[in-house]
Structure formats: C-alpha cells, structure tokens
Amino acid sequence: MRSKIVRYIILISLLLLTAWGTAAHFYRKSEDQKIQDFDADKFREIGFTDEEFDLFCDIAFNRDGERIRKWNTDIRVEIEDTGKLDKNVIAEVDSVITLLRPLVVPLRIERVPDNGNVIVYKNVKSAPANKPRQKPVFVNGIARINEATDHAWGINFAHIYDGRESGTQTLMHEFEHMLGLEHPMMLYEYYLTIGRSAIPQHYSAYGGWLRFQGVPYYISEQEKTVIRMLYSPEIKAGLKKGDFLKRMENNIKITIR
C-alpha cells in the first residue's frame, strides 16, 4: 500500500512539474510575442532618415542573439569615490548625462550620491577581469552591462571604467554602450563616437574623424536619433532584429498601397 502511495505521489509530482513547465514555456512564448509586436506607425513618428534607420539596425541590436537591449527603468549614475576626484572629473560625467538626458525620454537619467544602478569608475588604470584568475584589463575605457537571459533582455545594472588618459569622447562612447548600443559593423561616411577606435572609418569620413575626434563630448546627430529610436516606448528589450525588419517592411507596403 505504501509503495503505491509513493508511486502515486511521484506520478502526480511529475505531472505537476510537466504542467508547470508547459505553462511557463507558453507564458514566455506569449510574452516574447508581445515584445515582437510593436506599432511601426508610432515608431515612425520619431522622425528618422533612411541613413539613421540603417545605423539603428547596425548598432541597436545586440550581437548575441540580435535582440534589443535597453533600460526599462530610470538610470541612476553613481561615481565611485567622488571625494577623491577633482571637480572637473565629476563635471565630465555630469556633462555626458546632460547631453543624453533628452535622448532617453520617457526614462530619466541623473547622477545620484549612492544606490546607483550605473557605477562609474574614473581615472582607473585597469578594469577587473570578467572571470576569476584572469588578469585585469588595461583599457582607455570599458562598459559592462548585466548579461541577458533566455527570457530577460533588459539592462538593469552597469559598470563604466574610464582611464586616466582618456578624453571625454571615450566617456561618451562608454555611456552609449551602457545604453545598449554596439560598435558598428558597417563603414559610414560620417564620424561616429560609438565607432571611435573600434573599426576603420570609411575613406570619406577621415576628414570628419580629424575634425571631430578632439571635440569634447561629441556625439553625431545620427547617433542622437538612434538613441531616441532605441528608447521609443514602441521598442522593447528583447525585440528581434528579424521581426523588427519584417514589421517595418510590412508597414512600408501598407503605406504605399
């Protein structure tokens, strides 16, 4: 009798686990479908050129899985060890925040004294290694965001390391990564801060590179538009590049008709 009861308990437990797993699978699938369904007409109301659309497709989708990664909550920037830093160094972070603030609306980005979800380390010589036993990474600047999972692609925490000799454009570059942008894979005929020191510039952009590389806090108008596009309420973390392009293409066909 006892053995039968045990078998029944095991069987019921297995059935419950199977049912729970199936329900969880369909729930995640349903939530993912909601992410892929977006209003292309409202998205177009942002106003962007074909050139800016191409740039968005190039740098706004994460290389791993080609999905959107972005913040869903307000961004609170905390500078580590402010008491040991020069006021000008702190002002650099404030200036970058000021420039990015209107681009991430409806979210807010501000500097806070503590409890930040973005921690900025200024004047560092190196960044800690990602894995144990690895040596520190010596860089001018680097940004690290929380990893995505199979069902969560939002950014909710980040570290930015800014070197002693790096300029304000490097800081802007890392803040762009923190927002979810990738290095460009294509060559462009204009200067890109997100492409700074990452890939060769298009031959016709060399003049722009020489002109803009030393401009403090420079960020191109195209990049500004891409950030506005990324932080449009219509675009959700986890949106797949393929689904995005299909929806936009269908919208174009409907508009033409």
Q: What is the mean pLDDT of each run of 10 residues along the chain (257 residues)?
A: 65 61 52 72 92 96 90 97 86 97 98 96 81 66 89 93 87 97 89 74 60 86 97 94 88 42
Residue with tokens 């454009």: 169
Q: Identify whether the C-beta of residue 127 lies closer than 8 Å to the C-beta of residue 166.
A: no
Q: Identify whether the C-beta of residue 58 lies closer than 8 Å to the C-beta of residue 241.
A: no
Instruction: Enumerate domains of the chain plus CATH numbers.
Output: 37-256 (3.40.390.10)
From CA 213, how far away is CA 229, in angstroms rounded? 25
From CA 59, how far away is CA 186, in angstroms rounded? 9
Q: What does the DSSP 8-state code read for residue 189? A: S
| Strand 118-124 versus strand 141-145 pairing type | unpaired
pLDDT at 26: 46
Residue with tokens 């961004």: 75
Residue 75 contacts by C-beta under 8 Å, 6 or more apart in sequence? Answer: 104, 107, 108, 109, 110, 117, 118
pTM higher than the cut 0.85 = no
Q: Residues 241, 247, 249, 251: is their CA dihedral positive or negative?
A: negative
From CA 115, how far away is CA 222, in angstroms rounded? 32
pLDDT at 238: 92
From CA 28, how far away is CA 55, in angstroms rounded? 30
Three-state SS annotation for 31-95: HHHHHHCCCHHHHHCCCCCHHHHHHHHHHCECCCCCEECCECCCEEEEECCHHHCCHHHHHHHHH
**Helical (H) or strand (E) element with 5:** helix 2-36
**From the CB of residue 74, how many other CB atoms can be counted at a distance below 10 Å?**
13
pLDDT at 33: 62
pLDDT at 139: 73
